[in-house]
Structure 1
């Protein structure tokens, strides 16, 4: 059973999302106008997914909101107006699993909730356009062999299998992986775990959107 919580400062939006989730068999644990109002409930029973309004009226920072919800044990799906590119980028950099436009059909929102609840990383048009339109979003400058290693490793292969497929030593594959992580740190987008690398690969167009569990767990390190 998928569980969800909703943070939006417009009551009508919360009512609409609650009704859509309930009609789809998704359990809505709680809702609030801001993150502070939701956190006590999440500490008692974390939701699989929190649908978070990108810009709340309390003046809170989207980066802080995403991180606070994640620390409470929930994945975050950002509910956004399409033209807020900078805030979208900040939400993704903070670790949000994806963005769904407020203009999206109800079915698309439900599908996005299920994807995120299952550990998926969304790769929708809003995400791609936000990154492409934002000159401050720095991609890591990876060489072709580094891209090959990242593609295979983030797709779910163990590092030894990556090395075997590319015809290189396991130690060499590890060096490439270490180099990749350093390059992402240099552009302000660290990727300490395998799922973080999956997210970076999706963001930079090296992989299409994939389920996070294909990458071997949320905290795996080689």
Structure 2
């Protein structure tokens, strides 16, 4: 072992965790479990806003984030605010809001761990996410696949046509030309499509997110993208 190599390994192995949950008992339980596992808990707060203050610029590897905080912010906003702190986000959730789980993953959460799992499973998940790994969320994937509200955004055929062409890479003007409609009408269709995805907890604000939704729902195959046409 070269000089300094041991110290570097020790630094790499130290996992720094922050906890955000609006139930004090949950915060205390997760903190105790993390500290028992040898993780350093930098802060445990009731909201992401409080976490910003508590961290005071300190680097954090993983933020264990409650799915439904009573702070007035959406799931997407809380996940993205947490990500802006430079940490991976592990959503800690109960299993009754599948749409919100999907929203959290779409917003950039590294994974979701149910609150009902054994403590060691949660600890292992934190370690996996901290090291850049991907969680095997098969139970959550199964729940999402089985949820009819998730699977159906209830798009009309014309809306599906617009989404197919637009998500494939065509500009809105070409989408309108292909469908023989006005550009303003095509834009109205896109607005309706976005609204319908929001209703089922699957926001699609950007063109990339619309592409993801189209692929997820079988409206577009990845090899149909028109970027190079």
Q: Could you tell me the TM-score, scaled by structure 2's length?
A: 0.59
Instruction: Give the drift of 1:64.
Output: 0.5
- The unaligned stretches of length 5 or more in structure 2 are 1-13, 153-206, 217-229
Question: CA 1:15–1:130 in structure 2 vs 1: closer, same or farther (change >3 Å)?
Answer: same
Identify which of 84, 93, 105 aligns with 2:97.
84
Identify which of 61, 69, 79 aligns with 1:56.
69
C-alpha distance in structure 2 between counterparts of 1:58 and 1:116, whole Å: 25
Residue of structure 2 equivalent to 1:129? 142
Question: CA 1:183–1:39 in structure 2 vs 1: closer, same or farther (change >3 Å)?
Answer: closer
Residue of structure 1 equivalent to 2:212? 187
Question: CA 1:119–1:189 in structure 2 vs 1: closer, same or farther (change >3 Å)?
Answer: farther
Pairs within 5 Å for 1:85-104: 85-104=98-117
Residue of structure 1 equivalent to 2:15? 2
Instruction: Give the drift of 1:77.
Output: 0.3
Q: Could you tell me the TM-score, scaled by structure 1's length?
A: 0.61
C-alpha distance in structure 1 between counterparts of 2:34 and 2:91, whole Å: 16
C-alpha distance in structure 2 between counterparts of 1:82 and 1:129, whole Å: 12
Pairs within 5 Å for 1:138-177: none
- The unaligned stretches of length 5 or more in structure 1 are 139-181, 191-199, 201-222
**Aligned-pair Cα RMSD in Å:** 2.3
* Bigger Cα Rg: 2
- For the pair 1:11 / 2:24, whether they are aligned, the reply is yes
After the TM superposition, which segments of 4 or more aligned residues of structure 1 sit over 3 Å from their partners?
A: 134-138, 182-185, 187-190
Aligned residues: 148
C-alpha distance in structure 2 between counterparts of 1:107 and 1:53, whole Å: 18
C-alpha distance in structure 2 between counterparts of 1:80 and 1:102, whole Å: 5
C-alpha distance in structure 2 between counterparts of 1:183 and 1:83, whole Å: 28
The answer on whether the counterparts of 1:18 and 1:28 sit within 8 Å (CA) in structure 2 is yes
Partner SS, residue 45 of structure 1: coil
- For the pair 1:47 / 2:60, whether they are aligned, the reply is yes
Question: CA 1:89–1:137 in structure 2 vs 1: closer, same or farther (change >3 Å)?
Answer: farther
Partner SS, residue 187 of structure 1: helix
Identify which of 80, 99, 112 aligns with 2:125.
112
The answer on whether the counterparts of 1:43 and 1:72 sit within 8 Å (CA) in structure 2 is no
